[in-house]
Amino acid sequence: MRTEQETFSPLPLDFYEQPTLQLAPALLGCLLVKETPEGIASGIIVETEAYKGPFDRAAHSFKSRRTKRTEIMFGASGKAYTYVMHTHCLVNVVSGGTDVPEAVLIRAVEPYSGLPLIRSRRPKIKSERQLTNGPGKLCKALDITMADYGHRLDLPPLWIASGPDRDKFVTEAGPRVGIDNTGEAKFYPWRFWIRDNPFVSR
């Protein structure tokens, strides 16, 4: 039996030094945790996507494009890369190490703790699965915002911890979502999810 303290213990930064295509599935089953003045809320990561640097047309860092937005991707692994898409914030984990601008997008989580808090942030949502089954939805549910840009993921208020029931699921892989206009990159099987988990976005 784990204590709550152990359950929410952050993964060390060296966890993020593994290759991006290995890190993306390795993050499945881990906990994404956010602490705010209102309390802690967390979710089990059930869907991720790898974005691999200069040669991946779907990546913001394609052709090593370095801007104020993508700057954090060029730095050390294990930090949050948040950006705004339309009206929503999305969160990635920086990987690849310094000068290798790669990242893993967190596309869906399963609520794990702080469900009342999550519901209060998603007031119009009726079914539980709709609370966190998409990259914009989970950020809203956990109150992840642009204020978290560049934050180290081994420290409060935003961190990733090893999850419950590790190894009790099957991982599947397939093409990434929402990148139709990226040539061959749209076919790369760099999306990973937990088989049969109802919180996977599609």
Partner DNA sequence: CATCGGATGGACT
Partner DNA sequence: GTCCATCCGATGG
Q: Which is nearer to DNA, 30 or 139 (CB)?
A: 139
Amino acid found at 81: Y
Q: Which is nearer to DNA, 11 or 185 (CB)?
A: 185
Q: Which H or E element spans position 39?
A: strand 39-52
Q: Which is nearer to DNA, 131 or 194 (CB)?
A: 131
Q: Which is nearer to DNA, 42 or 133 (CB)?
A: 133
- Vertex 43, ends 50 and 57: CA angle to 5°? 15
Q: Which is nearer to DNA, 8 or 160 (CB)?
A: 160
* φ and ψ at residue 37, rounded to 5 degrees: -55, -25
Nearest alpha carbon to residue 40 among 96, 105, 97, 116: 116
Cα 173–chain centre separation: 16
For position 184 contacting DNA by CB under 7 A, the verdict is no
For position 98 contacting DNA by CB under 7 A, the verdict is no
Nearest alpha carbon to residue 29 among 19, 43, 16, 15: 43
For position 142 contacting DNA by CB under 7 A, the verdict is no
Interface positions, 21-60, toward DNA (CB under 7 A):
49, 51, 58-60
For position 121 contacting DNA by CB under 7 A, the verdict is no
Q: How far is 200 from 198, CA to CA, in rounded Å?
A: 6
- DSSP 8-state assignment for residue 98: T
Residue 35, beta-bridge partner list: 40
Task: Give whole-number Cα distances, 178 to 45, 75, 122, in Å.
Answer: 19, 26, 23
Q: Which is nearer to DNA, 58 or 160 (CB)?
A: 58
In whole angstroms, the minimum distance from the beta carbon of 75 to DNA comes to 15
For position 145 contacting DNA by CB under 7 A, the verdict is no
Among 37, 124, 127, 196, binds DNA (CB under 7 A): 124
Among 20, 42, 70, 95, binds DNA (CB under 7 A): 70
Q: Which residues bind DNA (CB under 7 A)?
A: 49, 51, 58-61, 65, 67-70, 81, 84-88, 90, 92, 103, 105, 122, 124-125, 130, 134-138, 140, 176-179, 181-182, 201
